[in-house]
Amino acid sequence: MKKSKIAITLTVLALCASLLSGCFGNKNTTESTNNSAGNLTQYETLEPMSQTYFIFDTIVNVKIYDTRATKDNLKDIEDILKNIDMKISRNQETSEISKVIANAGIAPVQVSTDTYDLVSKALSYAERTNGMFDPAIGKLVGLWNIGHEGAHVPAVADIEEALQRCDYRKIEMNDDKHEIYLQEKGMDIDLGSIGKGYAADVIYDYLADKGFHSAIIDLGGNVFAMGSKPGGKKWTIGVQDPDKERGNGIGTIQVEDKTIVTSGIYERFFIEDGKMYQHILDPRTGYPVDNNISSVTIVTSRSTDADALSTTLFVLGIDEGLKFIENTPDAEALFITKDKKLYGTSGFKEMLKKTNDNYTFAN
């Protein structure tokens, strides 16, 4: 049996987005509008300037809580998103990343500072994890094609061959010329693990530059809760129950000026012969990571880091992942396992107001 849930979900959501602005809940995290007593909070009286976009294969929703915000700001954000997509998307033939890939084994390609810095950032995580997080994993990502129509388990020989092309140490960076060179033909970069976080940061910086202090930037589960609610209270963000439809949480956290990013097994996957294959790959084996984790949620100050960290911790697993996050300043993590156990950093456990008794703390 084969099943591709994501294709259906995305189609429904895309329709939803094109018909109606702001009609959906978030993928992994949900912004709550009630305080703990269930009373309306002050900010709800201020209607946000809000728009929904469909880009990066995902639904993006931005809400600006400021009476000075205008439609022009929403248009600027659309341009920002398109601009990032034009730089880093593998699906856009003319993007800078596509040019880098097309020139693998041929020649270095000069790219914008944005692309250069993002690839450098991804490489820093690759180095920190000895390649468990690897932006050079594109060949394998393309082969498995998880989350897209027709995904199936590839032939072993094809996996072996793709694995040979996945090695971050063969991405050559030239700081002076801002050039990126993939040393071998057939190599491929994939920034799917970090791109949405990066986009959230760019939007955040744009809004900050315009003098706004209160916004929710949501890229399909990569949430940036900018500043605080109008009135100064913290934002309440729900942590998604991986086993339930979106909007059902295991609990909530209250944050101020933080980004919350989740990597999970539950939205991009397929099932073949009764086995589930999710979309984060193990660069040692060439197969999807097959551990007991349902999701990893990160809370930190920059979304690019949160996005890289959520994928990284997923690949590293609970023990290694918790060690890794302890050595990362200003970042908290929560693992949810398939058997409904919660493993968190002490900071996350302090923050989490658990509302679902099916889940229990295990550390």
Residue numbers at the binding site for ligand ADP (CB under 6 A): 133-135, 137, 141, 190, 192-193, 196, 221, 263, 268, 279-281, 283, 307, 310-311, 315
130 or 360, CB closer to ligand ADP?
A: 130
For residue 321, give both structure tokens.
């992942």
Which span sits near Mg ion by CB under 5 A: 128-136, 153-161, 186-194, 276-284? 186-194
Residues of span 291-310 touching Mg ion by CB under 5 A: 307, 310
Query: Which are the contacts of 147, defined by CB distance < 8 A and separation ≥ 6?
Result: 4, 6, 7, 57, 267, 268, 269, 279
Report the nearest approach of Mg ion to the CB of residue 311 (Å).
4
Which span sits near Mg ion by CB under 5 A: 100-108, 175-183, 189-197, 349-357? 189-197
DSSP secondary structure letters along 345-356: -HHHHHH-EE--
The whole-angstrom separation of Cα 63 and Cα 47 is 9
For residue 91, give both structure tokens.
């699906």
The whole-angstrom separation of Cα 91 and Cα 154 is 21
Q: Which ranges of 165-240 does DSSP label H, i.e. alpha helix?
A: 195-209
Q: Degrees (nearest 5) of the Cα angle 220, 188, 293? A: 45
For residue 27, CA distances in Å to 59, 133, 239, 362 come to 9, 23, 10, 25
Q: Beta strand 214-219 with 58-64: parallel, antiparallel or unpaired?
A: antiparallel
Report the nearest approach of Mg ion to the CB of residue 212 (Å).
26
Binding letters toward Mg ion, positions 191-210, x by CB under 5 A: --x-----------------
The whole-angstrom separation of Cα 60 and Cα 63 is 10
Report the nearest approach of ligand ADP to the CB of residue 128 (Å).
12
Binding site partner of 192, from Mg ion, ligand ADP, none, Cβ cut-off 5-8 A by kind: ligand ADP
43 or 204, CB closer to ligand ADP?
A: 204
Report the nearest approach of ligand ADP to the CB of residue 126 (Å).
8
Report the nearest approach of Mg ion to the CB of residue 263 (Å).
5
Binding site partner of 246, from Mg ion, ligand ADP, none, Cβ cut-off 5-8 A by kind: none
Cβ count within 10 A of residue 205: 12
DSSP conformational letter for 110: E
Binding site partner of 345, from ligand ADP, Mg ion, none, Cβ cut-off 5-8 A by kind: none
Contact call for residues 88 and 55 (beta carbons, < 8 A): no
b/e 193-202 (16+ beta carbons within 10 angstroms → b)? bbbbbbbbbb
Contact call for residues 280 and 263 (beta carbons, < 8 A): yes
89 or 193, CB closer to Mg ion?
A: 193
64 or 333, CB closer to ligand ADP?
A: 333
Binding letters toward Mg ion, positions 44-83, x by CB under 5 A: ----------------------------------------
230 or 264, CB closer to Mg ion?
A: 264
Cβ count within 10 A of residue 143: 20
- Name the residue number minimizing CB distance to ligand ADP: 192
Report the nearest approach of ligand ADP to the CB of residue 307 (Å).
5
Report the nearest approach of ligand ADP to the CB of residue 15 (Å).
20
Report the nearest approach of ligand ADP to the CB of residue 196 (Å).
6
Report the nearest approach of Mg ion to the CB of residue 42 (Å).
33
Binding site partner of 305, from ligand ADP, Mg ion, none, Cβ cut-off 5-8 A by kind: none
The whole-angstrom separation of Cα 78 and Cα 306 is 22
Under the criterion CB under 5 A, does residue 222 sit at the interface with Mg ion? no
List residues near Mg ion by CB under 5 A.
193, 307, 310-311
